[in-house]
Amino acid sequence: MNKLKTTSFHLENIFAVMCRLVGADYNIVDRTKKDWYLQCQWDEETEKQFSNWMTDYLYKLPQAQSELYDRRYMKKYECKLAVQLFLLSYGWKTKLEKNNNM
């Protein structure tokens, strides 16, 4: 993944959606701090919802592909892989489900 720009239009949209899904204030999350993505948590269902949204966002907007990955015309599976890598690097922490069987 290319070095992410901090003032990119599509990247800002992506971060805004990430914040909205977990109820975080986009204007307060300081992405200049190291490990900023550890400030919030989401469950697996919300992470999957975001993953599907971002995959479609990248797939349908070649401008977003170009901005984030210096590519255009990515195939759907390439967008999905790119989102998986994005989530590994920048996704919120995943809440662990409590197992009542223990």
Taking only the tens place, the pLDDT of each residue in 5-59 is: 445 899 999 999 999 999 999 999 888 889 899 999 999 999 999 999 999 999 9
Residue 99 lies in a domain: no
Under the banding of pLDDT at 50, 70 and 90, the label for residue 97 is confident
The pTM of this model reads: 0.84
Residue 100 lies in a domain: no
User: How many domains is the chain built from?
Assistant: 1
Structural domain containing residue 85: 9-94
Q: Nearest CA to 92 among 44, 50, 38, 49?
A: 38
According to DSSP, the residues that pair with 41 across neighbouring strands are: 93
Residue 3 lies in a domain: no
Residue 78 lies in a domain: yes
Residue 1 lies in a domain: no
pLDDT for the residue numbered 1: 43
Residue 18 lies in a domain: yes
